[in-house]
Amino acid sequence: MIPELGHLALILALGLALIQATLPLLGTFNHSATWMALARPLAYGQFTLLTIAFACLTYAFLISDFSVAYVATNSNSLLPTLYKVSAVWGAHEGSLLLWVLMMAAWGAAVALFSRHLPQITLARVIAVQGMVAVGFLLFILFTSNPFERLFPIPPEGRDLNPLLQDFGLAIHPPMLYMGYVGFSIAFAFAIAALIGGQLDAAWARWSRPWTLIAWVFLTLGIALGSWWAYYELGWGGWWFWDPVENASLMPWLIGTALIHSFAVTEKRAAFKNWTVLLAISAFSLSLLGTFLVRSGVLTSIHAFATDPTRGAFILVFLAIVIGGSLTLYAWRAPSISSGGYFALLSRETSLLINNLMFAALTIIVLFGTLAPLIYDAFGWGKISVGFPWFNKMFTVLAPGLVIVMGISPFLRWKRDRFMRLIRHLWWLVAIVLAIKLLLISQVPIGVMIGMSLAVWLLITHGASVYERLQQRDRSQFTLKAAFIQDLRGSGRSFYGMIIAHVGMALFIIGVTIVSHFAIETDVRLSPGDSHVVAGYRFEFKGAVSSTGPNYHAERGHFIVTDDNGDHVADLFPEKRAYFGGGMPMTEAAIDPGLMRDVYVALGEPLGEGDWAVRLYYKPAVRFIWLGAIFMALGGLLAMADRRYRSTSPLAQITPTIAASGSIKP
């Protein structure tokens, strides 16, 4: 009964979505306040129905109702409860349900928190969201119904893919989806603005906090995925340029360009066309990512379920949503004023460079991901673009981006003077050059470049904070008081930017050090043997069989000691065979540290108690994820800026703007 209830809730949600996509939007054209007023309750209703559907599916997992096909293929009565819950989104059908649920949650959040938004804008935003929801709900109901029954009822489920039975991966998809789907808000605002023909500072100010929070989720989601791949795949790598990883990186890159572009649109009313195109692109790339993952067009380590009819459906959906919005853009955008004038040397220019660089990086990733398909289509043979190509392209472009990042906070809006800039920057440049000279004979050139870029970011941002506070200091504050006052006032987005950029510096440090100084050794060890890697002695005490709730494992025991013979850690890597079958899983054992990770993974048993063992020393690898956490914190702080709250005096201009809109008296 419960699964049917869930199915019914989904059907009703589709009905509501159809109304949501049409009536409020029509209301904005025929000036019916009643129709427009429907937007809010419809958004809440949509969210409620999808919550019910999701709860029904979760319940089916919790009671192991194997009469539901989706439960039978993705769960097992032995599965620990946590993974029974995460199994809900462990495969195609459920992850789509999570996707629409989250989109409805974002819609409801907009309806709830945007009380100051003019009714006409809200109606359009909610309607655009409704249109996207219609597509996804049709897709779920017609090709991927998670509530489909199975007969005869199997006595036991097939079990969740063992790769996914892990805490990191249990929370990775929801985070990632929050980001993907969160961009639907920026998209909906952009489309609403295009429909109304109004792209102004107010539009940017409304969209910006929503885009920031989506970007924060996406940042954390990608970082979690990278962390998961690091410890769960047992290869010690943190990024594989896998099509599915790329699918999440592309919206992130464009999203990053978008949050910067919004700054210009909000403060200087410039870059409107750019901003709206980026907002459309960010969500389009999220949809494209879904297509790539779900259609099986590209093979990948992540390809769980692939089905060409589903692919065809998503492609049609993609063509309608993205094609439609780009057509709207091509039609409306040329008539939008290009906004304020700015000189060649200005903060606008530096942000334009940022936009172009991020767009270029996105195109590189898109090309690299689709290259096998492009080559195939033109009959150039089968190729796959690997690691080296992506790494090369990024290391060529990224330094330029980072140099501009350091200069940008010092630049003035609209017009700046070169000599003024030199006066502010010469000593910072001197410091970095000095570091370069100092390092050049000591370390590989890659390390020299990476570290000096990181230092450049850190000192320029430190100096720009100091400068900002000093300007206030003149009045009456001490530096500390000025800082606190600034944080209370409108300085949060500034400090958010600083923190996120410091995160970038940490990320660069991590990537530079781990890619040059990591040591990876594969050795054969007998019980009692030991092996030294980077000053750490790994003593293998042997492996014993053990049994988990739903797997057998060979559990190795390693004692790690350092140079002085002091005990560092006892590590217990495992090789697991899940009862449900499939490839044996490697559970790496890691002794984490800020400055280094010590990493052991069991390879293959070689007989007589011997094992092939992977021993890794990974210096500064944590900086990579720490950097991502800083970026996310920066995003959160920027979002908390006072001017995004309805109580802010700036919000008072909204009624005037709304009045000048398309509602005629």
Phi, psi of 296 (to 5 degrees): 80, 15
Supply the DSSP symbol for 386: -
Q: Which lies closer to another protein via its Cβ, residue 306 or residue 530?
A: 306
Paired tokens of 253:
């890159």
Nearest distance, CB of residue 304 and another protein, angstroms: 14
Nearest distance, CB of residue 172 and another protein, angstroms: 24
- Residues of this chain that bind another protein (CB under 8 A): 273, 277, 280-281, 284, 288, 291, 295-299, 306, 308, 311-312, 315, 318-319, 322-323, 326-327, 329-330, 333-335, 370, 373-374, 376-377, 382, 577, 581-584, 604-605
Phi, psi of 564 (to 5 degrees): -85, 5
Nearest distance, CB of residue 586 and another protein, angstroms: 13
Q: Which lies closer to another protein via its Cβ, residue 554 or residue 591?
A: 554
Q: Which lies closer to another protein via its Cβ, residue 291 or residue 538?
A: 291
Q: Which lies closer to another protein via its Cβ, residue 382 or residue 664?
A: 382
Nearest distance, CB of residue 312 and another protein, angstroms: 6
Q: Which lies closer to another protein via its Cβ, residue 311 or residue 542?
A: 311
CA pair distance 94, 87, nearest whole angstrom: 8
Alpha carbon dihedral 151, 155, 160, 162, in 10-degree steps, equals -140
Nearest distance, CB of residue 323 and another protein, angstroms: 6
602: exposed, middle or buried (Cβ count in 10 Å: 0-12, 13-18, 19+): buried
Q: Which lies closer to another protein via its Cβ, residue 125 or residue 585?
A: 585
How many CB atoms neighbour CB 176 within 10 A?
Answer: 24
Nearest distance, CB of residue 252 and another protein, angstroms: 19
Q: Which lies closer to another protein via its Cβ, residue 307 or residue 591?
A: 307
Nearest distance, CB of residue 610 and another protein, angstroms: 13
Nearest distance, CB of residue 384 and another protein, angstroms: 10
CA pair distance 206, 186, nearest whole angstrom: 9
Nearest distance, CB of residue 554 and another protein, angstroms: 10
- Sequence-distant contacts of 417-424: CB under 8 A, at least 24 apart: 417/345, 418/345, 421/345, 424/463, 424/467
Nearest distance, CB of residue 369 and another protein, angstroms: 11
Supply the DSSP symbol for 584: P
Identity of the amino acid at 133: A
CA pair distance 274, 358, nearest whole angstrom: 12
Three-state secondary structure of 15-48: HHHHHHHHHHHHHHHHCCHHHHHCHHHHHHHHHH
Q: Which lies closer to another protein via its Cβ, residue 301 or residue 595?
A: 301
3-state DSSP assignment of residue 560 = strand
Nearest distance, CB of residue 376 and another protein, angstroms: 6
Paired tokens of 281:
């692109």
CA pair distance 308, 198, nearest whole angstrom: 40
Q: Which lies closer to another protein via its Cβ, residue 39 or residue 298?
A: 298
Supply the DSSP symbol for 533: E
Phi, psi of 361 (to 5 degrees): -60, -40
Among 81, 82, 54, residue whose Cα is nearest residue 70: 54
Beta-carbon contacts of 388 under 8 Å, excluding residues fewer than 6 positions away, are none
Q: Which lies closer to another protein via its Cβ, residue 374 or residue 437?
A: 374
Q: Which lies closer to another protein via its Cβ, residue 316 or residue 440?
A: 316
How many CB atoms neighbour CB 402 within 10 A?
Answer: 21
How many CB atoms neighbour CB 38 within 10 A?
Answer: 19
